[in-house]
Every structure is written in structure tokens, then in C-alpha cells.
């Protein structure tokens, strides 16, 4: 009887081992075929990006504000200096939705100017003349701190310099203002706007000899709270617009901003373009 029981136990043990081995083999086969060892999924370790450090949140600007003064891909070029004469620019031929603002003289110096420029996120080329700013040249450092650039508009602001001054006098008027602005603002101007907008070959040569890349005139202007156009009745991409530092600065800026928005444009800097 004992031998029969012992034999039964052995058979039962053998059956249990077989079943266990079958289960183990089935499980291993499932692992190998469902998740093979050479699969990228088996041992791939997911890497998480390093956290981004955010600094200086106070100067973060909205996307549309950043866009307002960006030139992404220039599709125009500045005419070169030829025959020792600086090129004359009143518009840059571009398909980009940009317009350029130049503000002249510097007679009107009021805190409202600084506030209006900042509120409208406007950066401009400031064509200053010594006869207008010599009493308080530091006023315009507030605008350069906002991103505007100071450019050359002569020492004397003689609107008849084309006919009343010879080459040497014109050169002294332009170079003298460039020296003055470099001394006060730490940057030598590269653009020149003649008083009244008139120019001649002699003046173009004097400008080039003073290191000016171009003579900048205009094709539209904000004046007396209204927009005035030399061509058409609205702003076009690449137009150069004229304004002045005058008591009507607020109404002129309002008319410019409205005209710019109506044409779907935003400001860019001449200094970035040329």
C-alpha cells in the first residue's frame, strides 16, 4: 500500500512540474515575441527636456509688440554710393508690411513726446539739428533709450543750403552735426536729411564724404494732425514718413498711427533696413 501511495505522489509531482514548466514557457514566449529584446520599446528611456529658466519677466512683451519693430527677411537693397554721391531714398521697395518714420528738428521737447512714443511702441530715426536741440540735447537720450536713432539734419538748418552754400560749407554743416551728435549720443549718424528736403549733386557728395550711407527724404508726412501724400492717398509698404517735433506732436502721431493701421502696416527702423 505504501508503495502505491508513493507512486501516486511521484506521478502527481511530475504532473505539477509539467504544468508549471508549461506555464513558464508560455509566459517567456509571450515576453519574447510580444516584446522582443531588440525592440526599441523594451529598454528605451524617455528623456524629459531640461526646465527652461525664465529671467527678467518685467521686460516680456506681447507677440504683436515684438512684431511691430522687426524686419524678418529683407527683400530690398540700398543703392550704392556712385560717383562719390550718396543715394537718395524716399521709399524702400519691399513687399513687407513695414513703414519708416523720421522725426525732424527737435524744437519741441516735452515729456508728452516720450510718453506718446512709448505708448505707441514707435521707434524712429530722429533727424536733429543743432540750432534746435543745443539748449537741451540730453532730452533725446530718452528716445534713444527706447530704441530710436539720432541722425544728421545739419548744424544750421538752412533750407537754402543747396543754393546758398558751396561744397565746403555743406560738408562743414553736415560733418559738424555728425561730430556733435557722436559726442553727445555716443554714435555717429549714418543717414542725412537735408533741411526742406532739397538736394544737389554737391550736397550728395558732401553727405557721402561725411560718412552718410544715404540722403533720406519722404513720400508722406504727418502735419497739422493730418496725413499728406505725395503719391496716392494712403501709406504703402516701404514708405518713409516725415514728422516734426512740434507742439502738435500728439495729433500728428495719432494721424500717422491711424494711417499705418488702416494700411495694415507696422513701423520698422531705417537703421535696421539700410
The domain limits of the chain are 2-43, 82-273
pTM of the model: 0.74
At residue 55, the pLDDT reads 27
CB 139 within 8 A of CB 117: no
Closest CA to 257 of 104, 91, 124, 96: 124
Residue 45 CA to residue 152 CA, distance in Å, equals 62
CB 111 within 8 A of CB 153: no
Cα of first residue to Cα of last residue in the chain, in angstroms, is: 111
**pLDDT tens per residue across span 23-63:** 555 544 444 444 444 434 333 333 333 332 222 222 223 22
Q: How many CA within 13 A on the CB side of residue 111?
A: 0
Residue 68 CA to residue 120 CA, distance in Å, equals 10
Q: For domain 82-273, give the CATH superfamily.
A: Glycoside hydrolase/deacetylase (3.20.20.370)
- Give the residues across from 267 on adjacent strands: 99
Closest CA to 99 of 252, 237, 245: 237
Residue 262 CA to residue 265 CA, distance in Å, equals 8
Count Cβ neighbours within 10 Å for each residue of 171-210 and write b for 16 or more, e otherwise.
Answer: bbbbbbbbebbeebbeeebbbbbbbebebeebbbbbbbbb
At residue 26, the pLDDT reads 53
CB 267 within 8 A of CB 99: yes
Q: Give the residues of the chain that fall short of pLDDT 70.
A: 1-74
Q: Tell me the torsion sign for CA atoms 253, 255, 261, 265.
A: negative
**pLDDT tens per residue across span 64-88:** 332 334 444 567 778 889 999 999 9
At residue 259, the pLDDT reads 98
- The helix (run of H) or strand (run of E) holding residue 129 is none
CB 106 within 8 A of CB 128: yes
CB 89 within 8 A of CB 240: yes
Cell numbers that stand for 122 in this block: 514707435
- The helix (run of H) or strand (run of E) holding residue 196 is none
Cell numbers that stand for 246 in this block: 512740434
Cell numbers that stand for 126 in this block: 530722429
Amino acid at each position: 500500500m505504501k508503495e502505491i501511495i508513493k507512486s501516486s505522489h511521484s506521478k502527481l509531482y511530475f504532473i505539477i512540474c509539467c504544468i508549471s514548466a508549461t506555464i513558464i514557457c508560455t509566459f517567456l514566449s509571450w515576453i519574447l515575441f510580444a516584446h522582443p529584446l531588440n525592440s526599441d520599446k523594451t529598454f528605451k528611456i524617455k528623456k524629459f527636456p531640461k526646465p527652461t529658466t525664465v529671467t527678467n519677466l518685467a521686460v516680456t512683451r506681447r507677440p504683436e509688440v515684438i512684431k511691430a519693430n522687426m524686419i524678418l527677411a529683407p527683400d530690398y537693397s540700398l543703392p550704392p554710393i556712385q560717383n562719390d554721391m550718396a543715394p537718395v531714398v524716399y521709399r524702400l521697395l519691399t513687399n513687407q508690411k513695414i513703414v519708416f518714420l523720421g522725426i525732424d528738428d527737435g524744437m519741441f521737447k516735452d515729456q508728452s513726446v516720450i510718453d506718446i512714443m512709448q505708448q505707441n511702441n514707435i521707434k524712429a530715426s530722429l533727424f536733429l539739428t543743432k540750432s534746435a536741440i543745443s539748449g537741451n540735447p540730453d532730452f533725446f537720450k530718452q528716445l534713444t533709450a527706447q530704441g530710436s536713432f539720432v541722425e544728421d539734419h545739419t548744424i544750421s538748418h538752412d533750407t537754402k543750403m543747396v543754393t546758398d552754400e558751396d561744397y565746403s560749407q555743406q560738408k562743414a554743416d553736415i560733418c559738424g552735426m555728425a561730430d556733435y551728435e557722436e559726442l553727445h549720443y555716443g554714435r555717429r549718424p549714418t543717414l542725412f536729411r537735408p533741411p526742406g528736403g532739397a538736394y544737389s549733386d554737391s550736397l550728395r557728395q558732401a553727405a557721402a564724404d561725411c560718412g552718410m550711407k544715404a540722403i533720406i527724404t519722404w513720400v508722406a508726412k504727418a502735419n497739422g494732425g493730418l496725413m499728406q501724400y505725395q503719391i496716392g492717398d494712403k501709406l504703402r509698404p516701404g514708405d518713409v514718413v516725415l514728422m516734426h517735433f512740434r507742439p502738435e506732436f500728439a495729433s500728428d502721431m495719432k494721424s500717422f498711427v491711424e494711417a499705418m493701421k488702416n494700411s495694415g502696416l507696422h513701423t520698422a527702423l531705417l537703421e535696421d533696413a539700410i
